[in-house]
């Protein structure tokens, strides 16, 4: 089976509205206390900048199960509020009433009626209408949302990467720190699990690719507070080119936002069970301004031709793109020098000629033969620091 996915693209320069869903169970005999607490909280949260509306719903199948949904102008004001001391104090009355809370966050992609339809234009503005003003008061213009758009998912697994740079001269020390850390607990919550983490370095750049089954946001928050991860991140901090403080929620969000290297394409040539004996590699391509998407499309077309061929050297490919940085991660059934075109994502000839227009290549680099592509890959290959799979659940 072959899976090929594209990361959802935002079609407007305006940040999408956010829908927050909170699932919870109310303790027996505490329903009236819960309703009183919600009544108090809903009036308080209505005054939070960026909040649009909220609803309280009760399950038809289980009277102890409740659902709170809220809508926000964008993720920024919600994240600012949810990490604040004011939020923690505001929700205190709920703590004695509920258990098994589970929070989900979604950006609004479509709605009915459409804002441009007659129904959407008529009458008074609805509370859920997209706000036309700028960012809410007290929210910085610079984004700190770690996931400003839904991450790419394929076969039920979410793919994402983080990247950052370390000070020149500290590469060996950082590689040792990142290779020796103890893995965090894989199970995040009942629906989210860490599947695989692959960490690469080239020069002073670090790329950490993660695969998560479930909610990536929950996984990132889970990992950030694990003692094993905190210890290794604190050890790395002195070597970073840009400072961060992962103990401060806003600073942590800002780091995850600027370090985000979103997955834009993923292809699996065969079932995961067929990955036995494959080797994972990553290649760092420097792309010309404005040419990243075109480069990804060309490479993805090449990968698609491997679909359905169980003997093809390429088992899986994932491409991560942000500005001038394109990382191509592949799982190969042979060493990459034995199948340079499969590893690189293009063949000599028309494809390699086209790709030259999209990439920033060193002087003298040619891509006209398999040997030249292999030499090009040697110059792009990232060193694998660690590749960890979570044990089967």
Domains of the chain: 15-109 (3.30.70.100), 153-389 (3.30.70.100)
Q: Which two tokens stand for residue 174?
A: 């950082």
| d(C-alpha 283, C-alpha 198), whole Å | 13
pLDDT of residue 379: 94
Distances (CA, A) of 390 to 160, 161, 211, 353: 16, 17, 10, 41
Instruction: Collect the ranges in the chain with pLDDT lower than 70.
Output: 1-13, 114-148, 272-275, 393
- 82 burial via Cβ count (<10 Å: 0-12, 13-18, 19+): middle
pLDDT of residue 115: 55
Cβ atoms of 28 and 97 closer than 8 Å: no
Cβ atoms of 69 and 55 closer than 8 Å: yes
Distance of CA 115 to the CA centre of its chain: 29
Beta bridge partners of 356: none
* Angle in degrees, CA 136, 139, 141, rounded to 5: 100
Q: What is the pTM of this model?
A: 0.75
pLDDT of residue 360: 92
User: Among candidates 219, 217, 202, 221, which has minimal Cα distance to 163?
Assistant: 202
| d(C-alpha 317, C-alpha 324), whole Å | 19
Distance of CA 261 to the CA centre of its chain: 8
Q: Which two tokens stand for residue 156?
A: 């039920």
| d(C-alpha 340, C-alpha 378), whole Å | 10
- 121 burial via Cβ count (<10 Å: 0-12, 13-18, 19+): exposed
| d(C-alpha 118, C-alpha 116), whole Å | 7
């Amino acid at each position: 089976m072959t899976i090929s996915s594209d990361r959802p693209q935002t079609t407007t320069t305006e940040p999408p509205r956010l829908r927050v869903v909170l699932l919870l169970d109310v303790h027996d005999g505490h329903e009236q206390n819960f309703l009183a607490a919600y009544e108090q909280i809903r009036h308080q949260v209505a005054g939070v900048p960026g909040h649009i509306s909220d609803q309280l719903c009760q399950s038809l199948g289980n009277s102890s199960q409740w659902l709170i949904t809220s809508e926000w102008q964008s993720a920024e004001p919600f994240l600012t509020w949810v990490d604040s001391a004011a939020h923690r104090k505001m929700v205190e009355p709920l703590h004695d009433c509920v258990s098994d809370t589970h929070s989900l966050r979604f950006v609004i992609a479509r709605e009915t009626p459409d804002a441009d339809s007659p129904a959407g234009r008529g009458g008074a503005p609805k509370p859920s209408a997209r706000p036309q003003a700028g960012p809410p008061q007290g929210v910085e213009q610079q984004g700190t949302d770690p996931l400003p758009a839904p991450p790419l998912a394929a076969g039920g697994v979410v793919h994402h990467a983080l990247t950052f740079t370390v000070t020149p001269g500290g590469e060996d020390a950082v590689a040792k720190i990142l290779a020796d850390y103890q893995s965090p607990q894989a199970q995040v919550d009942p629906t989210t699990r860490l599947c695989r983490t692959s960490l690469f370095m080239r020069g002073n750049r670090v790329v950490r690719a993660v695969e998560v089954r479930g909610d990536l946001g929950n996984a990132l928050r889970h990992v950030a507070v694990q003692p094993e991860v905190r210890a290794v991140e604190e050890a790395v901090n002195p070597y970073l080119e840009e400072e961060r403080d992962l103990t401060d929620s806003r600073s942590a969000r800002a780091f995850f936002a600027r370090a985000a290297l979103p997955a834009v394409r993923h292809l699996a040539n065969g079932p995961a069970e067929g990955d036995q004996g494959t080797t994972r590699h990553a290649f760092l391509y420097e792309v010309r301004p404005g040419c990243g998407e075109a480069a990804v499309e060309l490479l993805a077309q090449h990968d698609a031709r491997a679909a359905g061929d169980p003997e093809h050297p390429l088992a899986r490919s994932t491409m991560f793109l942000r500005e001038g940085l394109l990382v191509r991660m592949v799982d190969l059934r042979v060493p990459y020098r034995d199948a340079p075109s499969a590893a690189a994502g293009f063949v000599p000839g028309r494809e390699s000629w086209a790709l030259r227009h999209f990439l920033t290549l060193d002087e003298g680099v040619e891509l006209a033969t398999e040997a030249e592509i292999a030499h090009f890959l040697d110059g792009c290959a990232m060193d694998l620091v660690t590749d960890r799979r979570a044990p089967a659940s």
